[in-house]
A = this chain, B = another copy of it.
Amino acid sequence: MRATVMYGAGDVRVEDVPDPELREPTDAVVRVLRSCICGSDLWPYGSLPPSEHGERMGHEFLGVVEDVGSEVSGLKAGDVVVAPFVWSDNTCDFCAEGLQTSCRNGGQWGHDLDGGQGEAVRVPLAQGTLVQLPVGEDDPLLSSLLTLSDVFCTGHHCAVKAGAGPRTTVTVIGDGAVGLSAVLAARRLGAERIILMGRHKDRTDLGRDFGATDVVGERGEEAVERVRELTGGDGAHSVLECVGTRPAIETALGVVRDGGVISRVGLPQYGDVPMGADAFMRNITLTGGVAPARAYIEELLPDVLEGRIDPGRLFDRTIGLDGVPDGYRAMADREALKVLIRP
């Protein structure tokens, strides 16, 4: 089959790889219907050291079960399923607590496994990992359903951990696909006011559609001042940090209200968080982390199926597998917000 392999920064190729097959009785093989490129794929795209073997790419996908191992129950060939971006047994104590990203037996796609940016994937621990979807192979909701694999669940995790809800003022840092997902998730949870910090009008316009009540386009200190003005000088109860850089976390500390929560879902490109005496005296909480998408899929699914939320609007470009290298480039150049792949 054909799949995406990254050989180093900027070097993405689509090439022939071995067809996936069942290896363990707990495996399934899934033919990919939809996949996409993640903002987090851009970190290795910018910095992966060159290698001869390369890295299989893609951790967001939705597809059709082609085969299941003898120990997989509840799934059969022909089922349409979505895979969260971390696979897990969904039975260990961490999974039972809703922290499937720390599953005792789980792991990440790619590396020694297939990635989602290919024609098919061998799925380990398929029964725990995959969630069946009550739709056909050409359902118009597929792109929104694909976001349950990662991006919308990540925004939701961010909003949940931040305590977004009625009577909260939320500030979302970042107008990328995760930031816009966080806006949509915060609105879904009933947040009263949602301030989106972002500077790309096409993206913040979508953010307004998703529920942002205010947009702050300034940068740095000026942006912090603007959010403070909008919140009567106090800052926001819940700050959803969807970027992952040190300036973003500094901005978060600047716009959070005393007693408030900063929830982060952007993979930190920093080692230290400046939370010394000031954050202490203000009782600021830092939470969030890699999102256990598996924990949220069933809860979010009805809202997608019934059209109450439409996170598929995040995809502003659709490509085939051959277009993947250019899809990376387009996202890195901010030409595209999020690229959908139809293998």
Q: What is A's interface to B at a CB cutoff of 8 Å? A: 94, 97, 99, 101-102, 161, 258-259, 264, 267-268, 270-277, 279-290, 292
Contacts and interface: CB of A to CB of B under 8 A. Distances in A.
Nearest to A249: B275
Given A99-B258, A259-B94, A259-B102, A267 B286 contact: no
Contact of A99 (B161, B274, B283, B292): B283
A280 B273 contact: no
Given A99-B258, A258-B102, A283 B290 contact: yes
Given A94-B258, A99-B258, A102-B258, A280 B274 contact: no
A282 B291 CA distance: 10
Given A99-B283, A282-B289, A285-B286, A270 B259 contact: no
Nearest to A275: B273
Nearest to A286: B286
A159 B168 CA distance: 24
A273 B101 CA distance: 23
Contacts of A274: 271-273
Contact of A102 (B101, B279, B283, B289): B283
Contact of A290 (B101, B281, B285): B281
B283 A288 contact: yes
Given A99-B258, A259-B94, A259-B99, A271 B276 contact: yes
Contacts of A102: 258-259, 282-283
A23 to B, nearest CB: 26
A90 to B, nearest CB: 15
A199 to B, nearest CB: 25
Contacts of A287: 283, 285-287
Q: Give the residue among A271, A275, A287 with the most B Cβ atoms within 10 A.
A: A275
Contacts of A286: 273, 275, 285-287
Nearest to A103: B258
A101 B283 contact: yes
Given A268-B277, A271-B277, 20 more contacts: A99-B259, A99-B283, A102-B259, A268-B280, A270-B276, A271-B276, A272-B272, A272-B273, A272-B275, A273-B273, A273-B276, A275-B275, A275-B286, A280-B288, A282-B289, A283-B288, A283-B290, A285-B286, A285-B287, A287-B287
Nearest to A264: B280
A335 B13 CA distance: 68
A39 B273 CA distance: 26
A101 B277 CA distance: 14
Nearest to A244: B280
Contacts of A258: 94, 99, 102
Contact of A284 (B94, B279, B289): B289
A207 to B, nearest CB: 24
Given A259-B94, A286-B286, A101 B272 contact: no
Contacts of A290: 280-281, 283
A267 B280 CA distance: 7
B285 A285 contact: yes
Contacts of A292: 283
Contact of A97 (B97, B259, B268, B273): B259
